[in-house]
Structure 1
Amino acid sequence: MIKANNFKIILILGGLTALGPFSIDMYLPGFSGIATDLNTTVAKVAMTLSSYFIGISAGQLLYGPLLDRFGRKIPLFIGLLVYILASLGCVFVPDIDTFIGLRFIQAVGSCAATVASVSMVRDLFPVKEIPKVFSMLMLVVGLSPMLAPTIGGYVTASYGWQPVFLILMCLGIIILLAAHFGLPNTYTPDPTISLKPKPILKNFWTVLKEPQFYTYAFTGAISFSGLFTYVAASPILFMDIFAVDAKLYGWIFAFMSCSFIGASQLNSLLLRKFTSEQMIFGALLTQSVIIITFLIAAINNLLGLCGTIALLFMYLGCLGISNPNTAGLTLAPFTKNTGSASALMGAIQLGLGAIASFAVGIFVINSMVPMTIIMATTTITALIILQIGKRTIKVKH
């Protein structure tokens, strides 16, 4: 049982983890307005989402060694300052190419918060508690897809899309202050860790070749790329294909997130009766059945707005079950290289998410079928990797 006096720490760690998702979700209702103001297309605006995923993926590899070498707080604060300045720059972008570049920089800044929060969970809690802590973090993180697009929809409708990035800048400042005053120093800096490229790469390779790491990191990341597919496709799916307005889109997106949040909290209860390994397998098997049904219905043009929402709701619920368990089992073998392990895990997850969102920008235009094909491919691939990989490891709890 996680002690009540850890609630404040979990809340702040959740805020750090939520910064990236908030930065992804809040400007989605403004895609059409951005395209108009910057004289471009919605598909090109979607590339700002891909550049964000690329930035947050690459940046995690940068922060992992820094967090292990200098402790958690200094790299975290530098990253948050970069995020704050890049968010301000997004308010004044003159063209889409500059916007794409600034979103990359914004992502590099925000991922310091993501890697630091995951590392601190491993620092502060015993291995058996980690999946439960991640489920609690998801309760905080889950508020971002509930609040962000809804707020973004109203702000965009009333004031345009630029104020969204002013709000994100202020959010970055608040989180920086909360982390400074509310988080303990959880890790003693290790000056023996080299920041030269060769030792860093060797360190990452040491992490990567651990069977438990690569099995659960890739299972979780490939499965979770279905979420990135949904996020990237949702403005096209709901606002273009189903022709809902920005405000209604925000409410639909918020409703969808209830599935992810609810499932992640249900996960905490289910862990009393089932192991993390059983939870992952059950969630992926259910997710496979749902997405195959979704794909068949989409190909045969059997789905309206409500049917699409219902199937996506169930699909996202499965991710809410599997994700905290794959994250917990991925990090369980590590004590010394926790920062590098969490960074590599995040980089794999976000890198695959960037590929999925890039595929959405290319293939999802006026039909939901390409979206469901991508989601079915990722889900079934994750299930196959899990079945092959878990035969070769002895899980460390």
Structure 2
Amino acid sequence: MPENEVVDLCRDLIRIDSRNAGDNAGPGERAAAEYVAEKLSEVGLQSTILESDTKRASLVARIEGTDANRADALLLHGHLDVVPFDAGDWRVHPLSGEIQDDCVWGRGAVDMKDMDAMILATVRARLREGRRPARDVVLVFTADEEAGGDYGAKFLVDKHPEVFEGVTEAIGEVGGFSVTAGGRRFYLIEAAEKGMAWMRLTARGRAGHGSMLNDDNAVTAIAEAVARIGRYEWPTRLTPTMEAFFRAIELDHTNLDQLGALQKMIGAVLRNTANPTMLTGGYKANVIPQTAEAVIDGRFLPGFEEEFFATIDELLGPDVSREFIQHQTALEFGFDTPIVRAMADALVQEDPEGTAVPYTLSGGTDLKAFSSLGIKGYGFAPLRLPADLDFAGMFHGVDERVPVDSLHFGTRVLDRFLDLC
């Protein structure tokens, strides 16, 4: 059974340092890709490692299906990079993969080396037992997801589109995990993602001595623009996915208290958001600089991109310009589809008391790149979680960890899903 080795695979992956600080910095993903290649080779599946730059490696492989009449392939994707950390803030070292309190601890335990391990464990078990899926299954373990995917998913789509031949559907991260609300257990399947607009703002003014009068101060202009954007209260906008979410859980969208720790995550997908994250300007205490800059992390809902940028431009004012650091589309796919029913059935077979519901992800995944090839995808990394675990807070957080039982559950669900889809 796949759950027999998933914990060891997860721990091994966590111990491989694949931190991604952006700007092509960090140790890269090559060591993690080689580990995955070795584990696939052990069960007879040959893979290919593709480097976009030194050590910036993604791995691809294809499992041939048994039904020659099925032309529609399925993509299982996970990323190998993780965000940086300050080890001094953690209870255990983030690269230890330690088991404590019945959880596997470490950077990537939920984002997303847990899913990488579940995919590996499921595929390895099925290939050892000769249980190939009906349709072709393409495996992709990417580099650089945490910095927007230029060295990973985008590289593969642009330079190696042949990898995705025949792929029509995909499953990846940040979905299929359980939440408890109103005494009921729901499994949130990601059917939509907000779009991304990382923007650099620039104000230009008149340089001069800090002791002089100056009514054209770039620092003042950028500070005022950042304050307007940071304090703006975006209106509520219910997308079809979130309307279906609230119908399914039988809650009103104006009452999020019953969602517990999840309310912060759900609240962020009921409106566009724009958070100032960086601010720079000047080089000496007594010099008024000619330019000052800020960075905004903007996220817009499916169907509301035009409204988002119109509002941003109004808030910027005439003295501040913007340019993109990253600009990625919003996504939304139907929930009443055969592949979603396969997910829901696989979950219910393992947890008869659970209910699958759609939701929108406030962040983004590699699916944005894959969708440019016409691939429809969902977040489905199934985990049955304790009701009191702040799972959303684990993403990029301190003391990231995943319950051992949840990993076992997820591999069983993925195994069932491959039989059903």
Does TM, scored on the shorter chain, surpass 0.5?
Answer: no
User: Higher relative CO (CA 8 A, sep ≥ 6), structure 1 or 2?
Assistant: 1
Structure richer in helix, relative to its length: 1
Kindly name which structure, 1 or 2, has the bigger radius of gyration based on alpha carbons: 2
TM-score by length of 2: 0.26
TM-score by length of 1: 0.27
